[in-house]
Each structure stands twice: as structure tokens, then as C-alpha cells.
Amino acid sequence: MDDPALLNASAEKQMFELQSGSISARELLQLTVDRIDRIDPRLNLIVARDLEAAQRQASAVDQARAKGAIDDDVTPLAGLPMTIKDSFMVTGMPTTSGAVELRDYIPDSDADVVTRLKSAGAIIFGKSNLPLYAGDVQTFNEVHGTSNNPWDTARSVGGSSGGSAGALAAGFSALEVGSDIAGSIRNPAAMCGVVGHKPSYGIVSGRGQIPGPPGTLTLGDIAVVGPMARTVQDCRRALDLLIGPNSWESKAWSLQLPPARPSSDRPLRVAVWANDDYCPVDPEIEQAVITAATSLADNGAEVNFDIRPDGFDFAKADATFDDLLGSALSGSWSMAELEEMAAALAEGRSISGGLGVAGATLRHRQWLSRNERRLQMRQRWLEFFAEWDVVLAPISPTVAIEHDHSHPMSDRTISVAGTARPYTDQMRWMGLFGVVYLPATAVPVATHSNGLPIGVQVVGPYLEDKTCLAVAEQLERLLGGFTPPPLD
């Protein structure tokens, strides 16, 4: 029988038990596997396992720890069992990214982030589910089927790191790594009531993730890789381990993130963007953002409940995000398909698909124009953050949605306070900040009247990830943070 209290605890707590000798790595691994065997048939979150290799690694950790041969500063995750999103290559384990054509693909090398986790002593024993090529805010694919939310199996875990968020919520893994181009860390974190950090663009290597095809070296525009956990502190410590360059940059690359704001001589300054007519959110989500900001104000922060960069327009920013996202994802279509899409747009015909479809057809000169718009927005945010430390905002207009796998994606809708809205509205609040490369931490702050978790995103200045995490940790202390769903 598993131990729910320990398996729902933070990675820090599990590491304390391992380091103190209260439990062995082999025992913790077995407890974790037992829990997955008992609960995952209802959820379908873990889609591949390599237990023999994991057991060997756990035994080696136990032996080394018994001899006093483990330096906890060098291998701070020694013996921690964890799963990882099935888009990241792990030596000897299937990496399908949800694609039928990769059903039998087993890499002979690790993604950079996997290498860093293993170097820290983590035991990666399984893979968590995702949508096809990480391309949806729900988690289902033809290879592994549909993942269900631990809070309500009729609802989605979100996406694309949905299996990761679900595994954290269900007590299957105390630490995960997700990827985020249109909210794929933040959306599932909110849907499942866990923590996720979208780093500043470019500070964590994405090498070894699918898509693109195995062996791809290109770092996709907007796309980042970041930690997911049950606590902000676990995310912060994991980020420290994950930060690093692609291999060809390693000779000269270094990074020292600035300390968290504010300085001791002034209060924290919080801007609030709780709702917007362009992409309206559920009233309870809006209220959760306001309540989170109020809790900070009650603890000394200076809060402005209606401010954003001068002249900043959500619709224009979203249009830029839409086009640049489409360009970043254009490899998903063949040249013939792209030419047909371009012709249809030129003739005024509609084309079906998801967010960013039109941007996939941009000529390079047009892309340069969109990128200049992005740079202008980045400059406005830079000026804004000279006065304000963070922005609090919604993550998605809704809590976890009911499963809807109808095609095409563009025909799906969501219900926001009883009004049908485009399915792609789920990505817009996250794209607003992702397109300009800003860091953002998703943290649970409330429970909806339907019993589902509500998260907010704490957005900070570029490269000031520690500020996002510090404010999110304060909200976690004030409002309660992660609560396990009623699975046991």
C-alpha cells in the first residue's frame, strides 16, 4: 500500500526523508509505482515505464548513501523518483510525443534537461502523457489515449504538459518538466491545481524535445522548457538545476539571474490585469486574481488594480502572438499545404485549424515586421517594469474544461459564464506574455464553486524569474497553495 501523505508531499520533503534515512530510494520508488498501479487506470497519465533501470539506479543510490558517498550539494535529487513529459528524449525509453509514427522510437541519448536531472541524481522511471506533438490544451492522442483530471475524470488535465500536471496532482511524481509555447506549462498547472514556471525565453535548453523530429537542433521561437511541482520552492530549486545552454554554447555561456525584487527600501509593486473585454474570463477567476492581489496589498504591497503599459492593446498583442506562433509551428504543415493555405487567405476563403494557422503562411519579410512589433512590445514592458515589479493575471478564461476532442480544433468552443467563446481563448492570456519572452509562474490560489482549482500567473520582467517565483511563493503562503484532489 502506498503512503499518500508522503507521495503528495513536496520534492523537498521526499528528499528530506531519503537523506535522513527514513526511507530508501528503492522503497520510495516502489511506493510510487504502487500508487500509480492503483490509481492511474482511472486517469491514464503515465504512458511508459522502465522499472528495471529505475530499480537499479535506486539500489545504487541506496548503496552510495549507506557508504556516505553522496554529496547532497552535488546531487540534490539523489534517489528522487520522477516522471517526465513524453516529448523529452530519455535513453532507452519510448518517446512518442503522442505520434503514431513514433510509437516505436526509443532514443539513444537524453534531452539536455534530462541530462541535468540525472546529473542531480533524479531517477526518471516513467513518461507522462501529452497531446499529439504537444499541440493542444487538452491531453489525448492515438497512441496513449486520453488523460483525465484527478479532480474530475470527465474533465481535461489541460495541455500540453497535461500528463505532467496530472501526475503531480495525483501523487505520481513530485517533480516534472514541461514545455510552453502557448501556455503548455501554465494551463495544465492551473487545471490541476499545481505550480508551473515558464522561464524567460532562452535560459533553459530545449534540445532533445520532440517536436521537431528527433535530432532537431533548432530552438523554436517563443518555446521554453521549465519546471512543474507542488510547491513554488520546488520549482525554484529545479529551475536552478535546469538553467543552462545548448551544447554548442557551453564553452562561454553563463547566466546569473538577478535577485528577486523588491529591494528592502520600498514595498512590492503589483500591477493587476484581472479581465479584459477582448478575452473575458469567468467571474470567479477574475475575483481570484483580485483576491490574490488584495492579499498582497494587505501584506504591504503597493497594488494598482487597473494598469498596463501605455498604449498597450490586448487585441494587437494577440494578433502578433498569433502570427509568430504560427510561424514557429509552420513545420507542422507540408509546403503544399502551406501554399494552399496562403492561396485561401489571399482569396478571402476561411481555413480551419488552431491558433496561429494564418501566421504559418507568412513570408520572411512579413515575419520581420511581426518581430519588430514584438520588439516594440518588449520595450514597452521594459519601461513598465521599471516602475512595477510583477503583473497578476488570469491563466485561462475557465477552470478545467470537459473533454472535447472534436475536429477541427477551430470549431470547438468553451463556455465562459454561460457564453460560448472560441476554444483558442484558452491560450490568449498566456500568449500575451509568452510572445514577449517574459517569465511567469502559475500558482493555485482558490477553488471554484464547482470544486475545481483556480490558478493565477505572476508575470515579471525578462530574466527576473526569481521575482515571479518569490511573489508566487508569497501567494502560496497567504492562500494555501497545493491541495491534493480526493483520490484516496
Give the residue from 192, 220, 249 where a domain finishes: 249
Residue 227 maps to a domain: yes
How confident is the model at residue 352, as a pLDDT? 65
Q: Is the predicted pLDDT of residue 109 greater than 90, yes or no?
A: yes
Co-location of 168 and 223 in the same domain: yes
Mean pLDDT, range 482-486, rounded to an integer: 97
Stretch among 204-213, 250-259, 333-342, 419-428 having the lowest mean pLDDT: 333-342
How confident is the model at residue 337, as a pLDDT? 72
> 459 near 468, Cβ under 8 Å?
yes
Residue 323 maps to a domain: yes
Q: Which residues are catalytic?
A: 85, 160, 184
How confident is the model at residue 363, as a pLDDT? 87
Q: Is the predicted pLDDT of residue 338 greater than 90, yes or no?
A: no
How confident is the model at residue 357, as a pLDDT? 73
Co-location of 328 and 374 in the same domain: yes
> 303 near 291, Cβ under 8 Å?
no
Mean pLDDT, range 355-361, rounded to an integer: 73
In the chain, how many domains are there?
2
Residue 238 maps to a domain: yes
Q: Is the predicted pLDDT of residue 398 greater than 90, yes or no?
A: yes
Whole-structure pTM value:
0.96
Show Cβ contacts of residue 168 under 8 Å, excluding neighbours closer than 6 positions. Answer: 174, 175, 176, 192, 194, 228, 229, 230
Query: pLDDT: is 345 or 472 the higher one?
Result: 472
State which of 331-340, 347-356, 397-406 shows the largest mean pLDDT.
397-406
Co-location of 244 and 275 in the same domain: no
Mean pLDDT, range 63-80, rounded to an integer: 97
Mean pLDDT, range 82-101, rounded to an integer: 97
Q: Is the predicted pLDDT of residue 415 greater than 80, yes or no?
A: yes
Q: Is the predicted pLDDT of residue 11 greater than 80, yes or no?
A: yes
Residue 261 maps to a domain: no
> 351 near 410, Cβ under 8 Å?
no
Residue 403 maps to a domain: yes
Residue 264 maps to a domain: no
How confident is the model at residue 333, as a pLDDT? 66
Q: Is the predicted pLDDT of residue 388 greater than 70, yes or no?
A: yes
The mean pLDDT value of the chain amounts to 94
Co-location of 97 and 32 in the same domain: yes
Co-location of 212 and 295 in the same domain: no
Give the residue from 217, 249, 281 where a domain finishes: 249
Co-location of 74 and 204 in the same domain: yes
Co-location of 149 and 187 in the same domain: yes
CA dist., res. 465 & res. 440, Å (int): 7
CA dist., res. 462 & res. 449, Å (int): 35
CA dist 273 to 424, 440, 458, Å?
Answer: 19, 14, 11
Mean pLDDT, range 221-240, rounded to an integer: 98
How confident is the model at residue 353, as a pLDDT? 61
Helix (H, G, I), strand (E, B) or coil at 38: helix
| pLDDT band per the 50, 70, 90 thresholds, residue 244 | very high
Residue 413 maps to a domain: yes
Residue 488 maps to a domain: no
How confident is the model at residue 410, as a pLDDT? 84
Co-location of 310 and 239 in the same domain: no
Mean pLDDT, range 268-272, rounded to an integer: 98
- Residue entry with cell 485549424: 353
- Tens digit of each residue's pLDDT (9 = 90 or more) over 15-67: 999 999 999 999 999 999 999 999 999 999 999 999 999 999 999 999 999 99
Cell of 15: 528528499
Q: 114: domain range?
A: 4-249
| pLDDT band per the 50, 70, 90 thresholds, residue 349 | confident
Kindly report the CATH number assigned to the domain that includes residue 207. Answer: 3.90.1300.10
Co-location of 155 and 26 in the same domain: yes
Co-location of 355 and 431 in the same domain: yes
How confident is the model at residue 216, as a pLDDT? 83
Co-location of 309 and 370 in the same domain: yes
CA dist 136 to 128, 139, 181, 183, 456, Å?
Answer: 15, 7, 11, 10, 20
Give the residue from 249, 282, 307 where a domain finishes: 249
Per cent of the chain over pLDDT 70 is 97
Co-location of 95 and 229 in the same domain: yes
